Amino acid sequence: MAVFAPAAPAAAAAVPADQGSGRSIVKTASGIKYTDLEAGGGEAPKVGDLVMCDLVLSLEDGSKVLDTRETGTPIAFQVGITNPLVTEGLEEVVRGMKAGGTRLAVVPPALGYGAKATQPRGIDAPIPGNADLYYEVELLRCQGTPVGTACCSEAKFAERGGACIPAETLKQLEAMMSLNINL
């Protein structure tokens, strides 16, 4: 995998608040517009970090082309690592978030799929050329466990007392690991 050196999140300027919601909308120097629904409380990802996101990707007409919450399969990628399934715009959106945060964003075609119509693997419908991409992204909380990394929504993290895996389940996993039981 090639590592690219992403710039720090582009300088952003607040634009007038959305008249319907009252939330301020930020426009980055690259042309992405976003607003945070939840700011998140964790750390912002750094180059090389593995992130997991639940996201909804829609087109301007409102048609959904991907919803990881419906499929139950969040997307995972390494920040700053070239990945043909993750657009430059999506990475920029995520790079400025904190774990547990939820963001609405509009990504211009130049940072999305460009001028050519395409249907990337895992996307339910074709994306027309020069399409703005409308994202709702939740950057999931992640924690290391004896059997790997576990990620969950902010609500589950809070519900479980600041953990993605309930303490009792974690104890059971640790006990199985000490017995060398294969999962």
Map out the domains of the chain as residue ranges.
12-139, 150-178
pLDDT tens-place string over residues 102-120? 999 999 999 999 999 988 8
On whether the CB atoms of residues 129 and 115 are closer than 8 A, the answer is yes
What string of pLDDT tens digits covers the 183 residues of the chain? 333 333 333 444 444 445 556 678 999 999 999 999 998 887 788 888 888 899 999 999 999 999 998 988 888 888 888 787 789 999 999 988 998 899 999 999 999 999 999 888 777 788 999 999 999 999 987 777 766 777 777 777 778 777 777 778 778 877 777 776 555
On whether the CB atoms of residues 138 and 98 are closer than 8 A, the answer is no
Rounded-to-integer distance, Cα 91 and Cα 104, Å = 13
Cβ-based neighbour number of residue 72 at 10 Å: 7
pLDDT at 6: 35
pLDDT at 7: 36
Helix (H) or strand (E) holding 77: strand 75-78
pLDDT at 19: 52
Helix (H) or strand (E) holding 139: strand 133-139
**Nearest to 64, CA basis, from 143, 145, 141, 134:** 134
pLDDT at 89: 95
pLDDT at 13: 44
Helix, strand, coil proportions of the chain in percent (round to 5)? 20, 30, 50
Rounded-to-integer distance, Cα 23 and Cα 111, Å = 24
How far out from the chain centre does Cα 92 lie? Answer: 10
Fold of 12-139: Chitinase A; domain 3 (3.10.50)
pLDDT at 101: 92
Q: What is the reported pTM?
A: 0.74
pLDDT tens-place string over residues 69-81? 898 888 888 888 8
pLDDT at 28: 94
On whether the CB atoms of residues 130 and 94 are closer than 8 A, the answer is no
Degrees (nearest 5) of the Cα angle 91, 71, 79? 20
